[in-house]
Every structure is written in C-alpha cells, then in structure tokens.
Amino acid sequence: MKLWQSRFSKPTNQLVDELNASITFDHRLYRQDIAGSKAHATMLAEQGIISLEDTDLIIQGLDGIEADIAAGTLTFDISTEDIHMSIETELTRRIGDAGKRLHTARSRNDQVAVDFRLYVKDEATHVRDLCVNLLDALCNIAEQHTDTILPAYTHLQRAQPTTFAHHMMAYANMICRDVTRLDDAIARMDECPLGAGACTGTTYPIDRAATAKALGFARIAENSLDAVSDRDFALETMSALSILMMHLSRLSEEIIFWCSAECKFIELDDAFATGSSIMPQKKNPDIAELVRGKTGRVFGSLFTLLTVMKALPLAYNKDMQEDKEPVFDTLDTVSACLPVFTQMLATMIVLPENMLAACREGFLNATDCADYLVKKGMPFREAYSIVGKLVAQCTETGKALDELSLDDYRAHSDLFDQDIFQAIALETCVNLRKSAGGSAPEAVAAQIASIRVFIQQCKAENP
C-alpha cells in the first residue's frame, strides 16, 4: 500500500503507476536521500520533536539500507513510486514506528529538492575537476610546441602564421571560463531547501540552519515556495555544460580537420581511433566525432528542461518529475566525454613539418609585409594596397612573397630593402607578435603560466 493511499477508495491503475513512477531513474539519488534523511532526523531529535532513541534507530536503519543498496542486495519496484518513498517504506519495514516518524516536518517536495541539489552539486564539482585535468593536458601540449608553427585560419582560409601552443591556449582559455561558470553555478546552488515543507514551511520548531550545515550547504533557501519549485540550479549547470560541450565540439572539428589526408597536421594514437568495416586503410577520428555529436544531445537536454519549466505556476507541479532524466543524461554524457577527450589529446602525434609546409602557401605573411612598410612611415591603407598588388602578382606567376626579387618589391615602393625577406620570414611573423595574448613564444609562455596558476588554484580549492 502506498504511503498516501489512505485518502483514496481504490488502487491506482497499473498504467498510472508505470507513468507516475520515477524509481527507474531516480534510484541514483539514494545516497543523497539517505544523507538528507539522517540530517533531518538528527535535527528533529535536537529540537525535541522526536526522541533520541527513534533517531538512533532511524540512522542505523538508513545506514543498513544504504549498504544493501550499494551491495545490490536491495532493489525496489515501481509500486514504491520513487527512491524517496522506497527508502522510507523499507525503513519502516525494518524499524517499525520509528521509521514512520522520519517524515515529521518534511514533505516529499523539499526532500526531492534537497536530494537533487546535493546530487547536481556533487556531479558539477566532479565535472569541474575533469575540466581541470583537460586544462593540464592542454598546457602540457602547449609547452612542447611553443615553436611549432601552423596556420591560423579565418573563414577556414589560411590567415596568419601562429604556433600550435598558441592554438591550444585558445582552447585552454575557453575551458577556464567553463570552470568558472561551473564554480558560479555551484556557488548559487549552495543553499538548502530542506525545511520548506510542501510549499509554506512547517509549524514545527525546526532548525533549518542545522540541517543545511550538516549537509554541507552554505545557507538555507530563503523562501519556501521558491525552495521547492526552483530548478534554476539544474538549468544553470546544464547551460554551463552546454557551453563546455560546444567548446569540445569546436576542438573536435579541428581535430577531425587536422587528421584528414588533405591537412595531416596530427595523427591520433591507435587507441583513440577506429577503423572501417569495409575499407582496411581507414583510421577514423571517431572520438572527436562522437563528442561533436553528443554536444547536440546535451543541448537538447537543456531545452527539454527549459520547456518543462517555462509555464509552471508556484509551487511544485508533477511536471517537475521530468527534471531529472535530462540532467542525469547531461552529467553522464559530459563526464564520459571529458576523460577520453583529454587522453586523446595527450596521446596525439603532432606533425610540425606538415604544419610548417601549410604555412608556406596562402600568403600568410602578407600582413607582415604591409607592416614592414608602415614601420617605414607609409600609411597602413596604402601599404595594404601595395601588398595586395604584390599578392596578385604572385598569384599570376605562381610564386610566394618570399620568392619575389627585391626588384619586384621596389617596383611597387622604394621603401622596400633587403631586410624585407627577414621581415616576412614565418619565424619572424610569429616571434614579433609579442603583444599580450599574441603568438610569440614569450607571449604564449605567459599564457601557459597564467593557466598553470589557475589550475593550481582550482586544485587547492578542491583537493
């Protein structure tokens, strides 16, 4: 018999039970549910609402249930609806009347809310740590390739020469922002809804601050209506994870491009690639493609929950049972993608010669040629026009800028001298970009050092 069945004259239809039940997916909240119940029972005893003897029995019973669930010897069926009712039913079966006193001054609404917050907070912290591991891998790669020149692209057209380290640091900065977004989300969700009751609080003399502290929350949720109906914490976490997956998807796209025979800037380790069922020569970047594909799945989960919440009046509504599966799926997906993605990057083989060869095509040093004239006093737009004509000449003759003669240059401007060839050398183009954030080795070294400090701070905050 269901705990709430006494008000009803007949049992629920089996199809209703199947639709209504969430135990098939919310069972993963059992640790958080038991932690919340233990904190609640302890507070009830401290406030004199139930006896110390009952609280001791409740905690012992909950400890036994937790151990049995973890060992796989205790399972639940859909007749118990959800993990919260399942645990309370089993507790009462084991310890009798003391188990019936656990739900005093508590509703399933604030119980679910605290369990869900605890779970999302724990998992968001775990994902944050995985992001820090990815940052470490990006820094390791960058430190090995501060002098490895490759093309930077705009519009997927070769634009200017940069370094592989500089490119990796661009993604490192994105991941840093992802970490801080998760930190912000964790800080905002760090408030305890337990004690809000069904929606308006309780008449019992409870101590909400005590349960919040026992569960590791920084503070209580200030409004009982908001406490049981808020899912902003889940939405904000999913939003942060969607942006994170977008960043991984962008890097995946580049990895797929770099692996292609048309580009061949990198080669993935055999352990992080797959083959074809029909073409024996194939080595496919399936991990990068999967991450790129799973990004859409994460986006979809975010929109699922936004749609569920968009028209709900206060306070709790059964629609909100649909909050957990998209959040669980998002957290599972991101937690699966990050470690394999990190290892894929850490083991990839970089091919510097191919990168450098690509830089010798496409006039990547054209801007530096214009800057050469500017530094000799010519207005930039005039210099830009002259170099455009030089590029047109090279295109017609099939030459690169560094293959023109000094006479070719001087036919366009007397400001050109022998040092133009050094000025447009690829190494010069990279090394002179010493401005903060630029591609010069010392500028990239500063970027790496900054990210390293960030990593150490993150590890110190969550050792």
Catalytic residues, by residue number, are: 155, 276
3-state secondary structure 349-414: EECHHHHHHHHCCCCCCHHHHHHHHHCCCCCHHHHHHHHHHHHHHHHHHCCCHHHCCHHHHHCCCC
152: β partners: 160
Residue entry with tokens 């020469």: 161
Instruction: Please list, in sequence order, all residues whose beta carbon lies within 8 angstroms of the beta carbon of residue 410, skipping any fewer than 6 positions away.
Output: 416
Residue entry with tokens 């990547």: 364
Instruction: Please list, in sequence order, all residues whose beta carbon lies within 8 angstroms of the beta carbon of residue 413, skipping any fewer than 6 positions away.
Output: 373, 378, 386
Instruction: Please list, in sequence order, all residues whose beta carbon lies within 8 angstroms of the beta carbon of residue 121, skipping any fewer than 6 positions away.
Output: 186, 189, 190, 233
Q: What is the chain's length?
A: 463
The Cα 446–Cα 440 span in angstroms is 10
The Cα 429–Cα 329 span in angstroms is 46
Stretch (H or E) spanning 158: strand 157-163
Count the Cβ atoms, other than its own, within 10 Å of residue 378: 17
The Cα 190–Cα 121 span in angstroms is 8
The Cα 393–Cα 375 span in angstroms is 23
Instruction: Please list, in sequence order, all residues whose beta carbon lies within 8 angstroms of the beta carbon of residue 290, skipping any fewer than 6 positions away.
Output: 337
**Cα–Cα–Cα angle for 332, 337, 339, rounded to 5 degrees:** 110
Instruction: Please list, in sequence order, all residues whose beta carbon lies within 8 angstroms of the beta carbon of residue 192, skipping any fewer than 6 positions away.
Output: 114, 117, 208, 211, 212, 215, 217, 219, 220, 221
**Phi, then psi, of 157 in degrees rounded to 5:** -115, 140
Using only C-alpha atoms, the chain has a radius of gyration, in whole angstroms, of 30
